Amino acid sequence: MSVAAHADIADTSEKRRRGLLARNEFPAGDGLWIVPCEGVHTFGMKFPIDVLFLNKKRKVLKIRTEMKKSRISFCLTAHSVLELPAGMAAQTGTVVGDELAIEKRQVAE
């Protein structure tokens, strides 16, 4: 089962700083993969999120579910973070130890 049908990649300093802060909603199927990243915050966010901390092989090291606004979470051994709509980790049965496959899709121009 897919944890996100479409995930943006925050792979620059600017994209990592902006994250999901400008969004008013985060629908099921969306995600934000932050690379590299060991910690996230939800200060200024308008909705709760699930946070999956991943190692370089995209193995799930830690899951923070239903992370509400004005919170901080870290995993110092993580290489990246996948942010998902709240409840998506439980809905997809994602657990610590799972390895995620990430496929790059071509965008039609």
- Can you tell me the mean pLDDT for 50-79? 97
pTM of the model: 0.91
Number of domains in the chain: 1
Q: Which domain holds residue 10?
A: 6-92
Using the predicted structure, report yes or no on whether residue 108 has a pLDDT greater than 60. Answer: no
8 A C-beta contact, residue 102 and residue 58: yes
Buried b (16+ CB within 10 A) or exposed e, 19-42: bbeeeeebeeebbbbbbebeebeb
Is the residue at 1 inside a domain? no
CATH code where residue 39 lies: 2.60.120.1140
Of 16, 17, 18, 19, which Cα lies nearest the Cα of 30?
A: 19
